[in-house]
A and B are shown apart, each in its own frame.
Chain A
Amino acid sequence: MNTTAILALIRNDIRLFLTDRRAVIVGVLIPICIAAFFGYVFGGAAKGQEIGKLPIAIVDEDQSSVTRAIAADLAADKFLQVTPLTREVARAQVRKGTQNAAAVFPKGFGEQSVNALFSGRNKPHIELLVDPSQATSAQLIQGLLAQYSMKDISKEAFSGVTGQKSLEGELQRLDGLEATPEQVEVKSLLQSARRLNKLRDAADAANGPASAQGAPFELGIPYDVTSTEVVAHDNTPYNSYAHSFAGMSVQFILMSGIDAGILLLLLRQRGIWQRIRSAPLRKSEFILARALATALISAFQLAVIYTAAGLIFGVRIEGSALGFVAVAASFCLLNATFGLMIATLGQSAAATRGIAILVMLLLVMLGGAWVPAFVFPKWLQEVSMYTPTRWAVDGLDAMTWRGLPLGEALLPTAVLCGSAILFLIIAVRRFRWEE
């Protein structure tokens, strides 16, 4: 094997990379900047910084005690920024995107909702006007509406004027019906509620309305939720930069892989290709040199990016360092063969660059480098498991912030190496060496 020639080619490729300021900026500085941005955006809330509130409008056409209470609760919620508006203005603002959604309480909502709580009939409607581009926000708003409506409607039903009136009306209605066993039980329940209200009224009269005994009865969520971040170590908070650096490293290193492939295509169109071909060098030696050079450049990029991630953003390898090296090395090999494959599949440099970038962006998106894969539809999540980028991002995540052991790096490493071998076979088969 002509190791001198192989080393000369590798050295030359590294020299070309380092002398190309644009390549260094695109390959190292830009991924650091974008990863920093994504990490900040997705992780700011976790560090106790003020979060962006979702803007929603409330259209209260009822102006009952129930709707006013719901509006007040929504306005006090830390996730929402509530603006009371008329229906027309609210619709216009949702359409413009100024408000993510608008909840419209129609006239009679308070009374009808209290009646429906006892009878289960004639439920009123809350109309939710939503910005279709903010589907996730709409789901959150629906959940909060359900929580506060249940609380405030039940409070009014059991202790408010409207509720007591409705309770009496429902008892009268049941008196007029033929008593089935179920109706007897319902009537008994409502009578218990009436007695409870009388006891509370008496307590209020004796001790004042603010006494603990007189606290109004209301239905709410009968539990509290404590959220615990499941990360590598209990005393180490989740570092959102770890995931963003994994994703952006994968994306921009793949871009340098494309550049390596394009360089090879350009070489073929220049006299330098004849010079290389006129040297006593075999096809296998040339391919090996190209692959090793691209892999080494990828490793350099990854090392610089993760060094910056560690020094500036506190990203740590919480899991197996050996596992991290295994995933990183296999990804670098994958990138090298990806570049070679591009060079052998493409015809002209310009057309190949366009198609290769499209393919790369698809791989990166499917790999969850931009947005987490769990937001994908189920079928797309399954498809993403067939992309090597998903395994690269997951593997780097596993060894950094997830803090998993070496064993968890084996499958991603195997998939990446397998993909690299597949790309290499395609590249070797299609590579034109003889003129």
Chain B
Amino acid sequence: MLVVDGLTKRFGVRIAVAGIGFRVDRGECLGLLGPNGAGKTSTLAMISGIAQPDRGTVRLEGTAGSNADLKRHAGLVPQDLALFDELSAWANLQLFGGLHGLRGQTLRQRAQEALELVGLDDRRNDRVKTFSGGMKRRLNIAGALLHDPDLVLLDEPTVGVDPQSRNAIFGNLEALKQRGKTLIYTTHYMEEAERLCDRVVIMDHGHVLADDTVAALKAQHGDLEQAFLHLTGRALRDGTAGAAQ
């Protein structure tokens, strides 16, 4: 479905992503794990077509591999909420669908389906600023689904939400998996990766340190958190590392 090969991204002299490679099969959920500054967000940006790689390729099955192709077939859920607080949920989705060329009845139907998937169809006309943090996160996901992408890229979609909302988001993502969508999911929460992901890629300092199934990593290290700490170390990664992200 997706093959990432030799992907490299520099910001000035700093190398954010250093020639990484992995593949994701159709319908699979890949967890992209790593501490702050590991290069997860930069990797997602290149896969989604937002950022141009300095080197390497992103090949998506069934496309010519251009940036425009990636954008048409991938849906990005940014880490920062990508919503206009002043507008209603419906108005936000009208914009996001329109950006992908949807209009008229098709747009209305897709927006309705996306809202139903994330359980917000009864709040469609309310302004986003009246939503809770969890509702905003769910709407943030809905905004990436309108053009019915084959690949959904989720950059820490559960940051700052309560357990109930997190559980609801898991339900949304499992529903997407059941529909055959391919997911790439970045997170700091190992239990999320264990619950959702079929495979996990652990990154640090722009390199891939491990690429295996959750079961294999657990078998090797006891649990996923031990695997993560063993591979990336126990040193704190705040400050400069966070800025590099």
Contacts and interface: CB of A to CB of B under 8 A. Distances in A.
A and B form one complex: yes
Interface range, A side: 20 to 34
Interface stretch (B46-54, B175-183, B222-230): B46-54
A271 interface: yes
B82 A270 contact: yes
Interface stretch (A10-18, A60-68, A195-203, A233-241): A10-18
Nearest to A274: B78
B86 A20 contact: yes
Contacts of B78: 271, 274-275
B95 A9 contact: yes
Nearest to A434: B52
A277 B102 contact: no
Interface in A311-353: none
A212 interface: no
B215 interface: no
Interface in B96-113: 96-103
Interface stretch (A42-50, A117-125, A278-286, A383-391): A278-286
B87 A275 contact: no
A9 B96 CA distance: 9
Interface string B126-153: 0000000000000010011000000000
Nearest to A435: B51
Interface stretch (B22-30, B69-77, B237-245): B69-77
B50 A8 contact: no
Nearest to A2: B101
Contacts of A33: none
B45 interface: yes
Nearest to A277: B50
Nearest to B45: A435
Contact of A281 (B91, B99, B102): B99
A277 B45 CA distance: 10
B191 interface: no
Interface in A84-132: none
Given A16-B87, A280-B68, A5 B80 contact: no
A267 to B, nearest CB: 9
Contacts of A136: none
A15 to B, nearest CB: 6
A28 B82 CA distance: 29
Contacts of A12: 84, 87, 91, 94-95, 98
A271 B144 CA distance: 12
A180 interface: no
B18 to A, nearest CB: 18
Given A15-B87, A20-B86, A434-B52, A271 B97 contact: no
Interface in A2-44: 2, 4-5, 7-9, 11-12, 15-16, 19-20
Given A9-B98, A15-B87, A272-B83, A278 B103 contact: no
A276 interface: yes
Contacts of A271: 78-83, 140
A284 B207 CA distance: 35
Contact of A8 (B74, B79, B84, B97): B97
Contacts of B100: 5, 279-280
Given A5-B98, A275-B143, A15 B72 contact: no
A276 B97 CA distance: 11
Contacts of A7: 98, 103
25 contacts: A4-B98, A4-B101, A5-B99, A5-B100, A8-B95, A8-B98, A9-B95, A11-B98, A12-B98, A15-B87, A19-B86, A271-B83, A271-B140, A272-B83, A274-B45, A274-B76, A276-B99, A278-B48, A278-B50, A279-B71, A280-B68, A280-B101, A435-B45, A435-B51, A435-B52
Given A12-B87, A275-B143, A278-B76, 5 more contacts: A5-B98, A8-B98, A271-B79, A278-B49, A280-B71
